[in-house]
Amino acid sequence: MLCDLSIKNFAIIDKIHISFSEGLSVLTGETGAGKSIIINALKLVLGGRTSTDLIKTDKEHAAVEAFFEISPDSDAGKSMEALGFEPGEGLSVRRIIARNGKNKTFINGHPSTLQMMTRITESLISISGQHVHQILLKPEHHLAVLDQFAGLEELRDQVSECYNKTFPLIKELYHLKEKKDREAEERELLLFQQKEITQANLSPKEEIELDQERDRIRNAETLYGTIGRCIERLYGSEGSVVGWLAEIGKDIERLGKIDTKLIPIAENILSAAYQTEDCVAELRSYTETLSFDPNRLEKIEERLDTIQKLKRKYGKTIKDIFCYLDTTEKRLEALQSSPERIAEIEEELFEQNKMICELSTRLSEERKEGAIRFCRRVQEELGSLEMRGTQFDILFEHTKEDTNSFGQYLTIDGKGIGETGFDRISFLISPNVGEGLKPLVNIASGGELSRIVLALKSIMADLDDVGTIIFDEVDAGIGGGVAETVGKKMKEISKHHQVICITHLPQIASLGNHHLKILKRLDKGRTCTTIEPVDGENRIKEIARMLGGVKISKKTLDHAKELLH
């Protein structure tokens, strides 16, 4: 559920904060007051496109922030958890648009990507406006509506999964057959690369060890001289560390005969002397390993140069080079077994074709059964929206068969199979008794289309995971009793979802649980938009304004009170 929306320096908005609640919230205001700006701001936090034109004049940045309550079991909650956020804390999404193009996106206060934001918010809000009307007119979207109603998403996903297994196999088969003549050239290149890497005889830690050895040779003189002085101080000179430790240890050892508590201390000091002697021996051995050989340094440089050349060609690390070699050898093996692989793919495609045909046929049959229930429900909903007698049906067609030689693997009875099966459907409607059914795209009346959108939203209310539904002036082309009926239908939907409605109709506005008024005013010679909740007398006046225009009479006020009660 959308709880809060903050907008700053956006279009003609300086700064506003809107709090939303459950149920039906209505937004009203004069034409041009900025109601559409609110919707555009919300679209931004849902991943919509940005433009510097949205930034208020003379400002460098615009910001939109929204806060949602999130159910952990919802799609948004699961997406949040997958991305490392805690849905129980709610969701705060913030988007900043900058004139310099350095736009920023934040999720719960943390910088994020637009892709992350879109993944989380895509199922939070459904905006039904003129754009949704246009989508509804497109038959390619009708199939998804029917499948959701009929509960066929899982079966549809199985078809999609099978298709997405089949299509890559078809591409591989096509690739193998098309490129047979070029395999020799590819094989020659792969063999060269394999030989170059193999003959280099690399070892995983070789580069690190060579770097260390090079450093030792380059600094051999410093190492030898410093270690020599250390050995001298520890052991070689008069008054050396070892000598002092041995002498002190023996003195305390003699005192141990007086007080036995000193014996362990003497033992530790003598042990330190012995350990220091061991360290001296190790340092002497180390100096014997030091090399001043310039020839060896040259060989190391040559070897490191060889490794660098291989890294430039095959990977950033020696591990990457080995991975490249492994890929090369697998590809060589595939080239060697090309005929065998073709036979394997063809056998696998036969099995996949059998499976996708069975799934697609089942999906089509269940769609047709679901279509009967869906059409009946749509007609019932339209009847409740003052469109009684409307006929609604679904035309089933199928995609055409792919006639190329590989199309046989995604074909059944002359019908081509895609990710959604082989069905193509379009919604047909006859709003007037006696008229024939026509495609929904041919419906000219905005009022009828608005009610069809509302009918579909009502039907899908129990099925949608979306928490908030926004109706952006879907009351276009209606009025009177129809408007009241539409308002009651929105109120009914608000029992299942948070509903926000932008409307010009008092019949709808009067049914809201919450009423927000959008105002446009002049401030220091600049136009700006504000928003404020209205209730009591102020709400009566706003409903009266919507009823009566500029001059509001007592009769108009009484009518407004009647609508609100």
Q: What is the mean pLDDT of each run of 10 residues along the chain (565 residues)?
A: 93 89 90 77 87 87 93 88 90 93 92 91 78 68 90 94 92 80 79 91 89 86 87 82 88 88 91 91 87 84 90 91 91 76 89 94 96 94 87 90 74 90 92 83 71 83 77 74 86 89 90 91 77 92 84 87 87
Contact call for residues 470 and 128 (beta carbons, < 8 A): yes
SS3 per residue for 494-553: CCCCEEEEECCCHHHHCCCCEEEEEEEEEECCEEEEEEEECCHHHHHHHHHHHHHCCCCC
Residue 388 phi, psi dihedral angles, 5° rounding: -65, 145
Is 448 contained in some domain? no
Distance separating alpha carbons of residues 4 and 21, to the nearest angstrom: 9
Residue among 428, 420, 408, 288 nearest 354 (CA):
408
Q: What CA–CA distance (Å, rounded) separates 417 from 169?
A: 15
**Residue ranges making up the domain that contains 39:** 1-124+466-533
Distance CA 521, CA 514 (A): 23
On the 0-12 / 13-18 / 19+ scale of CB atoms within 10 A, 285 is exposed
Which residues, 6+ apart, have CB-to-CB distance to 331 below 8 Å? 190
3-state SS assignment for residue 470: strand
CB contact at 8 A, 474 and 35 = no
In a domain, 410, yes or no: no
CB atoms within 10 A of CB 440: 19
Q: Say how many C-beta atoms besides its own lie within 10 A of residue 182's C-beta.
A: 9
| 511 CA to centre of own chain | 37
- Looking at residue 175, its pLDDT comes to 83
pLDDT score for 506? 92
Compute how many other C-beta atoms are within 10 angstroms of the C-beta atom of residue 402.
16
Q: What are the C-alpha distances in Å from 424 to residues 139, 188, 240, 309, 403?
A: 8, 48, 95, 56, 19
In this structure, what CATH number is given to the domain that contains residue 75? 3.40.50.300
Q: Structurally, how many domains does the chain consist of? A: 1
How much helix, strand and coil, in percent to the nearest 5, is found in the chain?
60, 20, 25
Name the phi and psi angles at 87, rounded to 5.
-65, -25
What pLDDT, on a 0 to 100 scale, did the predictor assign at position 39?
85
Provide the 8-state DSSP code for 422: S
d(CA 548, CA 541): 10
Given the DSSP bridges, would you call strands 423-430 and 104-107 parallel, antiparallel or unpaired?
Answer: unpaired
pLDDT of residue 247: 87
Residue 20 domain-assigned? yes
How many Cα atoms within 13 Å fall on the side-chain side of residue 391? 13
Indicate whether 89 belongs to any domain. Answer: yes
CB 478 within 8 A of CB 449: no
Listed residue (99, 95, 102, 88) closest to 117, CA to CA: 95
For the chain, what is the radius of gyration of the CA atoms? 39
Using a CB cutoff of 8 Å and minimum separation of 24, what contacts does 369-377 make? 369/150, 370/146, 370/147, 370/149, 370/150, 370/151, 370/152, 371/146, 371/150, 371/396, 371/425, 373/149, 373/150, 374/146, 374/149, 374/150, 374/459, 377/149, 377/459
Task: Report H helices in 153-293.
Answer: 153-178, 183-200, 206-218, 220-231, 241-255, 263-289
| Alpha carbon distance 328, 368 (integer Å) | 50
pLDDT at 455: 86
Task: Look at residue 480 and tell me if it is in a domain.
Answer: yes
